[in-house]
Chain A
């Protein structure tokens, strides 16, 4: 028993990110402040003739289609996602357990939760969520990703229940689908209009539900780390995977989520340790960060 609780203590140590709560208030204020002068918040682009507005950026999608075969190659182009996965799941697990009052000591704490994984790619996040007991719907705009995700998840009876569809967040909204929690990890930097995208995520989330978003910060350090290191030096990602100008800062993300009716409650940074080759959660949100947000009860 001592052994088991020891282990769980390790897990709960993850909730260190709560300290961010404090720091986060000032960030939130900064964000509000920012909103008055906001001009660098990406504005809707006038390229939509039909409703719903599409979040798709064709050349972004082409980049993912080109390397789709390698989704599950843990040493391939998606290696950073594989390596980061346990860390972000630790954040998501503890945030969801707290918000939905689930037992963190359970092996399947997410049982009973309906979760959407928007921009699921090959299902790197969808599969662990299903193993943790959630009922998962994974959607991605790239057909090939969905095929890979289906094939891979089908190998394990537990993950074969995941519903994968080639569609977008806005189409799911049109279909009137809702979820207890909506995930969009490492996707927002690839969409055409982050504000519209966040509105769709909000519409997919039930009142009192949760939204989790992770992305890369538009800081100089993020530029150096994510683009130069990952794409050029380490050759993890094909060149051109990221465009610096499409990154959001944490303040911008908080703001556009707020406008979409979602309140960011916790935020944590991911830091990479090149010596151990591991990622860990920290309060340094200058490069990669993840935000846990909830939708207020009062629906607009």
Chain B
């Protein structure tokens, strides 16, 4: 995107600014136009009369909400939109100042090549590359029984890398910078959404009113949002990007289906003596442990286990914890896989002619973890899916629409996909003069996203189920499946392609 005007129009509205300084066309002046209303009466009147009006209100300026703002800022059809972003997260108001040498954060995301290309096109990826991040082109997945392993290589699918891991704060900051450096008109409200009225202007009132049709723009239109400081605003479209416990979803009356796994994930960042360049995942009796490179000599750990285990591992000493991690990543719970064990190699050897390059790669042992580099955080795992993604003037994206457990690092990628799809549908609507809150338009977004998201959730749930039982024969089957996956190259390609965001049907399930 060539930006001739590198002017920052985004502004942060301080809590104290009286509403009267905001005209109905949105905030054109920077938030610095402050001043106190001369008296209470005037203030009240101002509140009653002039309620700011936006095209879109994004509730929740997390990674997915900010990605939507970025995508909108990058397209000619949408960049003139007047957008409000509502989120009390102080990072939005102050702008994060992160430095490469800052201590790593335990919260990271694995970004797929598909998401990366969206972010590149929107001009946000270059900011990620200015901070700590790690591309990886090899991924090794194995199993504690020692019966099978699979190594995936980017070359197998003709890609340069399988993904890139970056701390959430790096991604978030990149998106924020991208929006701020564009000439996109956004207003950040450092507040929370407290309630929402969806203006269902009943047409039946016409009957009585036939002679007094007033230009009713004075009363505003669209959805009316009430914020935590008592102020309000109108928006033609409300985007719920407010995470797994979405308030927008609740206020719109959209129900969810899902369940909690009786499992938690411990996440933390660790250090090695040398740089890790591969993504590792080992399935243990209690769940998977993943070791993801995040740049420098750091890696991130996402380790799934029972709630009781997670609580004790969170509070043990660093020494104990590191011992447990190394045990879990290598010889613990069972032997290292050796090719040829139990004849599985022979069992699949007839596929070998067709094998992908990485079939010839041998099992490797992940690098030892030597230091804890962040606090340990514990999250319960759950799977939740909104029964609908849209209703009149309301649409859900990201975790507000679906939460998956972090097994394959798909959470934020599904959200980026949602944001990208929604931005394009909004652009299309604008090109054709549609009301962007119109339900027919929003249903197009829903149709585009829902089935794909359900598919990915089902796959992840399937993985989860397959690894939460420990029966001898099942283990062998599972190992056979791994071995099979390692030898049958078309199959493996489809696994990698799907996990890296190419939308192909996963024929293997």
Contacts and interface: CB of A to CB of B under 8 A. Distances in A.
A132 B210 CA distance: 28
Interface stretch (B98-106, B154-162, B291-299, B424-432): B424-432
A118 B389 CA distance: 37
Nearest to B428: A7
B214 A154 contact: yes
B438 A7 contact: no
Interface stretch (A68-76, A178-186, A288-296): A68-76
Nearest to B447: A276
A2 B210 contact: no
A10 B217 CA distance: 34
Contacts of B77: 4, 7-8, 107
B213 A154 contact: yes
Interface in A77-122: 82-83, 85-86, 89-90, 93, 105-107
A160 to B, nearest CB: 5
Contacts of A70: 203
A155 interface: yes
Contacts of B201: 151-152, 155
Interface stretch (A49-57, A142-150, A191-199): A142-150
Given A3-B74, A74-B438, A144-B206, A156 B217 contact: yes
A234 interface: no
Given A74-B438, A154-B213, A160-B215, A11 B431 contact: yes
A239 to B, nearest CB: 23
Interface string A145-189: 001101110111100100000000000000000000000000000
A296 to B, nearest CB: 28
Contacts of A251: none
A155 B221 contact: yes
Contacts of A7: 75, 77, 424, 427-428, 431
B440 A154 contact: no
B203 A154 contact: no
A128 interface: yes
Interface in B417-438: 420, 424, 427-435, 438
B433 A128 contact: yes
Q: In which size bucket is the chain B interface?
A: 35 or more
Interface residues of A, number: 43
B216 interface: yes
A3 B213 CA distance: 43
B434 A11 contact: no
A3 B68 CA distance: 13
Given A11-B431, A86-B434, A155-B221, A150 B213 contact: yes
A130 to B, nearest CB: 7
B85 to A, nearest CB: 20
Contact of B206 (A85, A131, A147): A147
Contacts of A73: 203
10 contacts: A3-B75, A3-B121, A7-B431, A69-B206, A131-B433, A132-B433, A151-B201, A151-B203, A152-B201, A156-B435
Interface of A: 1-4, 7-8, 10-11, 69-74, 82-83, 85-86, 89-90, 93, 105-107, 127-132, 143-144, 147-148, 150-152, 154-157, 160, 276
Given A3-B74, A148-B206, A156-B236, 18 more contacts: A3-B118, A4-B74, A4-B76, A69-B206, A73-B203, A82-B440, A83-B440, A86-B428, A86-B434, A105-B76, A127-B433, A131-B435, A144-B206, A147-B209, A150-B213, A151-B203, A151-B213, A157-B24
Please name the 8 residue pairs, one residue from A and one from B, whose CB atoms are nearest each other, closest first.
A128-B433, A155-B221, A131-B433, A4-B75, A89-B432, A132-B433, A3-B121, A154-B216
